[in-house]
Amino acid sequence: MHGLSLRTKVALRNLIISQALIILFLIFAYFTWFPYSFSTLGGFTKTALMLIFADLILGPLLVFIVFKEGKKYLKFDINVLLGIQIIAFVFGAYSLFLKHPAYAVFTGDRFTLTNVSEIFPYQPWYKDFNRLFLSSPELVVAKLPENEQKKSDLILDIVLNQQPDIDKRPQFYQPFTTHIDTVFTKNLQADVIFSNDSAKQKLQRFLEQQEGKLSDYAFFPLRGNNKENVIWAFSRKTNLPVGIIKSNPWAQQNTQQSLVIN
């Protein structure tokens, strides 16, 4: 920084510190809160860009504009700007926290992502699920009550009163590990969902990236935060998700049905 004015040095120092903090936080959020490419399904990019703008661009720019060596109350002005940056960072980080998936919920024949904002504050049925900030989304299965009266009341509440479905109600969640066998019987037929050329190419890229073969994986529909439907691939060896294929799982099935009807 030799040869630079003091104002430029202060602005650059602010930029470097802000950049380090933002990059570390976004790396954490990307790999912990939005694993398996969940960031492509809504909730991550816009908030991340807001954080970058507020703390990496607006903050250092305002410091550069306000800073003037020898200015009265300069220290106060700089502290106010730093306070604004901190508030902007906390607000952006909290917004990202609320938007990140707390659960990947299997209901019927598909997974849906349930964000923290959709269940917070909440009282999970299983206390082991109470890990939101430092943990990745939890795999769970949503089950209707076995009691027929409670089941009827719940369905009426959802249909008539437009209340949240069971995938947004943690009290109906059960551990994924106890339902693995049932879940895997609902996997999609690969020859149907990858029947067209575009889907086949995406599947081939996925297999090359994973260095596996088709029989190694089970495929399920996944509905993201942005209401986009994609294919979620699970390893048959570990029973855990390994990645997302950006292809509509229902499009090919609808086409197949149309061909049968015709």
Provide the residue count of the chain.
Answer: 262
Q: Please say whether the beta carbons of 42 and 224 come within 8 A.
A: yes
On the question of pLDDT at 262 being above 50, the answer is no
Q: Of 112-116, 230-234, 247-251, 253-257, where does mean pLDDT reach its minimum?
A: 253-257
pLDDT at 120: 52
Rounded-to-integer distance, Cα 224 and Cα 111, Å: 9
**For 175-196, how does the pLDDT look when each residue is reduced to its tens digit (9 = 90+)?**
999 999 999 999 999 999 999 9
Q: Show the DSSP H helices in 73-124 as ranges.
A: 74-99
**For 125-180, how does the pLDDT look when each residue is reduced to its tens digit (9 = 90+)?**
445 445 677 788 999 999 988 888 888 888 888 888 878 888 888 888 999 999 99
- pLDDT above 70 covers what percent of the chain? 89
Rounded-to-integer distance, Cα 33 and Cα 133, Å: 8
pLDDT at 26: 93
Residue with tokens 């700007």: 81
Rounded-to-integer distance, Cα 74 and Cα 71, Å: 5
Residue 106, beta-bridge partner list = 111, 141
On the question of pLDDT at 252 being above 70, the answer is no
Rounded-to-integer distance, Cα 240 and Cα 115, Å: 20
Geometric angle at alpha carbon 106, from 135 and 151, rounded to 5°: 120
Choice between 132 and 53, residue whose per-residue pLDDT is larger: 53
Q: What is the rounded average pLDDT for all residues in the chain?
A: 83
Short-list 177, 157, 164, CA closest to 112: 164
Q: pLDDT category, 4, cuts 50, 70, 90?
A: low
On the question of pLDDT at 32 being above 60, the answer is yes
**For 77-103, how does the pLDDT look when each residue is reduced to its tens digit (9 = 90+)?**
778 888 888 888 888 898 898 889 989
Report the Cα 219 to chain-centroid distance in Å: 19
State the average pLDDT over residues 193-214. 93
Give the N- to C-terminal CA distance of the chain in Å, as an integer: 73
Give the neighbor-by-neighbor strand order of the sheet with 229-235: 173-175, 138-142, 101-107, 110-115, 217-223, 229-235, 241-245
Domain boundary assignment for the chain: 6-99, 101-183, 188-261
